[in-house]
Chain A
Amino acid sequence: MAGVADFFRWLNDAHGLNFSIFYDAYDRDRFLLGLWTTLYISVFCIVLSVIIGMFGAWLQGVRSGVVRALVQGYVQLFRNTPPLVQLLFFYFGVGTALGAMTGGGSFLSGVGWAIVSFSLFAGALNVEIFRSGIEAVPATTREAAEALGYSRLATYRHVVMPLALRIALPALGNNLVNLVKTTTLAYAIAVPELLYASAQIWSEVLNVREMMNVLLVSYILYVAALVYALGRLERALRIPGYTP
């Protein structure tokens, strides 16, 4: 490790390329904390948004027209408005209102509202993705499950969803990658995620050029890791010989 630090110190002295996060312990810790916050927010959001997507897609199949209309309204409203304004609406609008109701103080932290807001945004897109996956499951498969005495919920859980998940996986993967990129918006409410931490470093150390590139490479590596994991998952879940 000392060798790496020495190399980057030399790079700064000899060529003026200041990658302070590699040799300055304070900057390194800030950067790593930012990375951790980004990972933390995005993993929470991925899990929550997939749950919202599955549940919403199930609600879109219920008999009650009112419930279906509500889900459709939620999906369209969140799909067609900027996630940044949604975040500000939740953090400042809903957060302040809830805080006033519960007797002062903020209701959730910035990180908390970021997770809620991004999960609802990505969840709305996931509802659509799962719905089209469910529609692609052949009606005969569903009817066969019904004939075997499966209830509606059991059919959904044991027959339809496992197949729909596999069909929806490529589109779902795309959306989850977008979700990771969306977490940068938490910058706007001063959540110390990767972008915010980097911005703090480059405004203090004045190494905008170097930090900008470190930041871009970090995100691209993170996204690449996620794409790789999703590809592995897709292969692991593949049913040999099955084409819906």
Chain B
Amino acid sequence: MTETLATMAKWAPLILSGFLFNLLVSLLAMALGTMMGTALGLAQVSLSAALRRLAWAITQFFRNAPWLVLLFYAMLLLPFEVQLFGVRVALPGWLKSVIGLSLPVMANVAEIVRGGVQSIPLGQWESAEALAFSRRQTLWRIILPQAAKRMIPPWMNLYAILTMATSLISIVGVQDGVSLTRAALVAEGRTELFMPMYLMLLLMFFSYCYPIARFTATLERRFAVKS
């Protein structure tokens, strides 16, 4: 028992560093996905029917495809380097995995943005129009500030899901907490370590995701529309 604990303590710093890399990937993918998703969500409420339909199709496509398949898609089909303004930019595996994870995030953010904008009563649009706000001004100054409050809980929920999904990058060969745990187990070569080591990894994810879930629930209650 004490020996098992000592072995776990020996590997814990390495696995924790891998887990911190998972968190870094989650933050980058969330930032990228949120930027693309906001644009896609706003396109879904645009005045042009063609743009609306195109944005809807893109959203549905990336929302209904499995995360792991999209990750494979990005890992295998993106080039290893791209030409940006005549400069060669290398695309290492971990960066491709960030892009791969940001695709489903984008589609889910788009749905959150669309839902948030559509949850604002039509009267707000009409009043803004009566006050001679342009459509762009109405969206940015009237609608989005109100919708943002309602979008935060589902957005945080999505972030927790993304953080858990970052474990998938170990499957496509990026070194993260999961692959380092596996490497440690291979190095030790003792089967009785499998359970405690994976449990330790589970607890790392839990101690990060559970507080987020609790905080999201609190925000949901606070922002709930009183009826």
Contacts and interface: CB of A to CB of B under 8 A. Distances in A.
A219 B62 CA distance: 11
B68 interface: yes
Given A84-B178, A195-B69, A77 B64 contact: no
Contact of A84 (B160, B171, B185, B191): B171
A177 B63 CA distance: 10
Given A84-B168, A223-B64, A209 B77 contact: yes
A224 B167 CA distance: 26
B64 A215 contact: no
B67 A181 contact: yes
Interface in A206-239: 208-209, 212, 215-216, 219-220, 223-224
Interface residues of A, number: 38
B205 interface: yes
B89 interface: no
A94 B195 CA distance: 6
Given A82-B167, A85-B201, A100 B191 contact: yes
B103 to A, nearest CB: 11
A188 B201 contact: no
Interface in A163-186: 177, 180-182, 184-185
A77 B73 contact: no
Given A187-B171, A195-B68, A82 B164 contact: yes
B215 to A, nearest CB: 12
Nearest to A218: B69
Q: Kindly name the residue among B164, B192, B196 whose own CB sees the greatest number of chain A CB atoms within 10 A.
A: B164
B162 to A, nearest CB: 11
A212 B178 contact: no
Contact of A81 (B76, B168, B182, B205): B205
B66 A184 contact: yes
Nearest to B198: A89
Interface string A77-111: 10111111110110011101100100000000000
B206 interface: yes
Nearest to A227: B64
B209 interface: yes
Q: Kindly name the residue among B67, B77, B192, B195 whose own CB sees the greatest number of chain A CB atoms within 10 A.
A: B195
